[in-house]
């Protein structure tokens, strides 16, 4: 079943290749959506796809690339809006 997840990632996640890591994992998983840096130092991810695939994706995001340090993830599950055709970095 397709769902949308809105994820806010907190920690040392800017300037460490985090968005590119997320982008590559999403592309490999066939997910659609985007990742972007926020002004408060967090990273926002909006992703749509199969819930079980997104749950696996979230496990990878929690670890992140080697220089990153994820301290918290806030996830809200929503209905998919089917507005994305691919995954992009904003």
Tokens of 85: 């055709």
Whichever domain contains 61, its CATH number is 3.30.70.100
Distance of CA 51 to the CA centre of its chain: 13
Catalytic residue among 24, 37, 42, 51: 37
Range of the domain at 13: 2-89
| pLDDT for the residue numbered 66 | 94
Q: How many domains does the chain have?
A: 1
Tokens of 26: 């999403």
Per-residue pLDDT tens digits for 20-72 = 999 999 999 999 999 999 999 999 999 999 999 999 999 999 999 999 999 99
- pTM value is 0.96
| 19 is annotated as an active-site residue | yes
Catalytic residue among 19, 24, 66, 90: 19
| 37 is annotated as an active-site residue | yes
Q: Which residues pair with 35 in a beta bridge?
A: 45, 89
Residues 6+ apart with CB under 8 A from 68: 11, 12, 13, 16, 17, 18, 21
């Amino acid at each position: 079943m397709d769902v949308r997840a809105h994820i806010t990632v907190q920690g040392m996640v800017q300037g460490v290749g985090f968005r590119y890591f997320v982008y590559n994992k999403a592309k490999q998983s066939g997910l659609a959506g985007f990742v972007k840096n926020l002004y408060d130092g967090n990273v926002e991810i909006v992703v749509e796809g199969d819930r079980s695939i997104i749950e696996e994706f979230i496990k990878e995001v929690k670890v992140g690339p080697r220089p990153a340090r994820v301290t918290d993830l806030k996830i809200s599950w929503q209905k998919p809006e089917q507005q994305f055709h691919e995954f992009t970095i904003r």
